[in-house]
Structure 1
């Protein structure tokens, strides 16, 4: 086996696959290595299987919203083992598909735990040492360590999506994506769900007004939220978990059949022995310059969740960062990642989305703004499906008529947010957007009215 390459990529998620293929296409000798099945978090343990589970919850919710409107949903229920099996029809084939695609492109595929042993050399456990002219770190992220007694009892999102049965009482720790998305799925599947959040404002990156609407919608279907509540310990008596929490200086014991980690993620870099390669890193990942090159070792680049960049921790960002890193390794540092107009979505039911600035951020930046605010719960596209929880808030620069930020809560708004993201990337004005002639009746036809 060749043990010297032009490029070695650590990790085989989306950033890694795109970078490896781009460099291999250019004629470089490339190897990838991962200790887990190929595919990364999104394809195997995150966005993709999660949204397949969400489909079951969507069906349940849609039927209930149409009760008394021609649909009788009383006997409709989620068969959890079958739903998990459905998600695995996708995740089960992805590692082989990804590995096969890499190999057909001439990439050497390696498996095992890798560590640095020099500035351009790694060692793979049981396989020896491998040297490369460039090394790309794209190892992704892992659940943030939780430092309380009994933290070993926490279930993470990966384990959640492998459970054969869904427990009756589920407690989620943290007020972020994981807790809200899985909480909304579990509640529709019949579980009693609570989320504890140590802050006053869950889903902090999203518009406060829309978050509060979503919280109220969640409470209607059984997703409870405890604010300003800190986790102190987790214990078990062999039958249930006893979770001690603190609020306003007073402690309380909560009882649950499952406790799920939803307290954020951190870069998966601590086992790489970065010091052996003189690689600077911090809590947010590998320290890189604007070209995604290590600040301390020019042979090293980083992309995705492993890198400390200005991009949000999203799969599409990892994809284009992988491509940018590959381009800069191939041609010299010429390309910088463009983070304009990158949308994000919380796939609750209904979904909550954002692109660009919050209102307060635009005000702090000194923009002369107009906020186009709409309660869309009575608009035809939502009336049609029985959903009354829907609203939009668009932040517009009065001076240029361009979009500074868009915030949407409602069915299928995860698709509409992409229009706003594209408008921001292309500097389109609201007048440009209103020129759209959309298929009608479609959710997209509401775009102009949102402005």
Structure 2
């Protein structure tokens, strides 16, 4: 069977859904395809369920900190099964809700793996989909790990669907996924070990603030091993043995579960992009600044599928708006603008950044001053007995522009948005300092950071 549409969208996550609905609202005929349940990684297997699980363990963290002051008595451990039931209240309605919304909007739905047959044809099983244009927003998948026994790893998707929490967990990786899972699991009662191949955790965030968070994570306690590469995993009875190399020294770790937390890659393998004449690389589909494929003008890419910007949900939303504009108002109507795209590690406490790192600003030859302080003595941290709190703000000499902001501590995930607003819209350090803020709040700390 052959069917033709103005737009064929691959992926039902944040970017794919917005593209499909935006194009349909503009009067175009639209089809959407997904090989997984409709909803995408963020809503079903990533950002949203992770934040729900984090919410369940936040009270534990807070009580532990205040217990040191004699405010609480015996420690409390959340019930993992109840946490999973709470999470499913958010995830279970997503797929039927998406299915119904697409049907109501008149968007044709297809389930299965989409693959190119030629530059203007997609196949979904035996169904042929002809498209005036294609929008590829297939999201990401766990990156391949060259480890013997890698098939024994539980992927991040599976971690957030565990019926029970094992007593001992090894996390392979040292990025934001590993850090967030560590903070959730240890607060829920597990013994957690992190194995990071590199010498530092959380590459891409300010190293001074990362050091504060790592120290806090050690104290939780999480066993963090940097410079330690997992080399093999084997099944031993009901558990696992992880073999690792630390500067030539062989190490072994016994565990009840080993989790792949070492990053993700664009989910493009099944698309047969070569048949579609779509150029791609390790970071995704090669696109211009209108998000059009550099090799097939019928194809646009968005979100994690596009080799542009950081793999973040706000980026996917921005990409979708760009693609919709270029599909409905002409292919060169809007360019991407990733200025002030915030990124957050939802640990306890959170770590956040927006704009340039010190190293990046120096590399660009910019003149700037750095406001850097450890702020565990500030009211916003001290009232919670939070010992991990600090900031680093880069301010351009002469103009007062905010070049970058880096935060760790209570509500850093919210306060970073104020700096994103300032960078995006040119609010200077003086403008931030003069702004009246509600007090006492973490937001009011901004005036003292600049």
TM-score, normalising length from structure 2? 0.98
C-alpha distance in structure 1 between counterparts of 2:359 and 2:220, whole Å: 31
Q: Unaligned 5+ residue runs, structure 1?
A: none
Q: Which residue of 1 aligns with 2:310?
A: 312
Q: Unaligned 5+ residue runs, structure 2?
A: none
C-alpha distance in structure 2 between counterparts of 1:175 and 1:18, whole Å: 32
Cα offset for 1:75?
4.5
Does the 8 Å CA contact 1:241/1:259 hold for their aligned counterparts? Answer: yes
C-alpha distance in structure 2 between counterparts of 1:399 and 1:225, whole Å: 42
C-alpha distance in structure 1 between counterparts of 2:270 and 2:4, whole Å: 22
Does the 8 Å CA contact 1:402/1:427 hold for their aligned counterparts? Answer: yes
Q: Which residue of 2 aligns with 1:301?
A: 300
Q: Which residue of 2 aligns with 1:125?
A: 125
Cα offset for 1:248?
1.2
Q: 2:27 aligned with 1:23, yes or no?
A: no
C-alpha distance in structure 2 between counterparts of 1:341 and 1:181, whole Å: 23
Does the 8 Å CA contact 2:231/2:243 hold for their aligned counterparts? Answer: yes
Which residue of 326, 329, 332 maps to 2:327? 329
Q: Which residue of 1 aligns with 2:402?
A: 403
Q: Which residue of 2 aligns with 1:433?
A: 432
C-alpha distance in structure 2 between counterparts of 1:295 and 1:338, whole Å: 18
How many residue pairs are counted as aligned between the two chains? Answer: 449
C-alpha distance in structure 2 between counterparts of 1:370 and 1:241, whole Å: 50
Q: 5 Å matches for 1:186-335?
A: 186-309=185-308, 311-332=309-330, 333-335=332-334
Does the 8 Å CA contact 2:64/2:75 hold for their aligned counterparts? Answer: no
C-alpha distance in structure 1 between counterparts of 2:189 and 2:68, whole Å: 21
Q: 5 Å matches for 1:331-370?
A: 331-332=329-330, 333-370=332-369
State the Cα RMSD in Å: 1.2
Q: Which residue of 2 aligns with 1:175?
A: 174
Q: Which residue of 1 aligns with 2:38?
A: 38
- Residue by residue over 1:3-25, the C-alpha shift from the partner in whole angstroms, topping out at 9 and shown as x without a partner, is 11000000111001111111111
C-alpha distance in structure 2 between counterparts of 1:72 and 1:291, whole Å: 55
- Residue by residue over 1:257-306, the C-alpha shift from the partner in whole angstroms, topping out at 9 and shown as x without a partner, is 11110111111001111111111111111111111001111000100001
C-alpha distance in structure 2 between counterparts of 1:52 and 1:329, whole Å: 35
Flag the 1:363–1:82 CA change in 2: closer, same or farther, 3 A.
same
User: Which has the larger displacement, 130-139 or 100-109?
Assistant: 100-109
C-alpha distance in structure 2 between counterparts of 1:399 and 1:95, whole Å: 52
3-state SS of paired residue (1:434)? helix
C-alpha distance in structure 2 between counterparts of 1:157 and 1:73, whole Å: 34
Q: Which residue of 2 aligns with 1:448?
A: 447
Cα offset for 1:445?
1.1
Does the 8 Å CA contact 1:64/1:73 hold for their aligned counterparts? Answer: no
Does the 8 Å CA contact 2:136/2:305 hold for their aligned counterparts? Answer: yes
Does the 8 Å CA contact 1:304/1:319 hold for their aligned counterparts? Answer: yes
3-state SS of paired residue (1:3)? strand
- Residue by residue over 1:109-142, the C-alpha shift from the partner in whole angstroms, topping out at 9 and shown as x without a partner, is 221121111111111114x111110000000110
C-alpha distance in structure 2 between counterparts of 1:449 and 1:75, whole Å: 35
- Residue by residue over 1:371-407, the C-alpha shift from the partner in whole angstroms, topping out at 9 and shown as x without a partner, is 0112111111111111121000001101210100000
3-state SS of paired residue (1:275)? coil
Does the 8 Å CA contact 1:328/1:334 hold for their aligned counterparts? Answer: yes
Q: Which residue of 2 aligns with 1:414?
A: 413
- Residue by residue over 1:130-174, the C-alpha shift from the partner in whole angstroms, topping out at 9 and shown as x without a partner, is 111000000011000112210001011111111111111111111
Cα offset for 1:71?
2.9
C-alpha distance in structure 2 between counterparts of 1:216 and 1:85, whole Å: 32
Cα offset for 1:2?
7.9
Cα offset for 1:73?
4.4
C-alpha distance in structure 2 between counterparts of 1:389 and 1:146, whole Å: 32
Cα offset for 1:442?
1.3
TM-score, normalising length from structure 1? 0.98
C-alpha distance in structure 1 between counterparts of 2:362 and 2:295, whole Å: 37
3-state SS of paired residue (2:122)? strand
3-state SS of paired residue (1:381)? helix
C-alpha distance in structure 2 between counterparts of 1:275 and 1:200, whole Å: 37
C-alpha distance in structure 1 between counterparts of 2:18 and 2:28, whole Å: 14
3-state SS of paired residue (2:106)? coil
C-alpha distance in structure 1 between counterparts of 2:73 and 2:41, whole Å: 34
Flag the 1:123–1:73 CA change in 2: closer, same or farther, 3 A.
farther
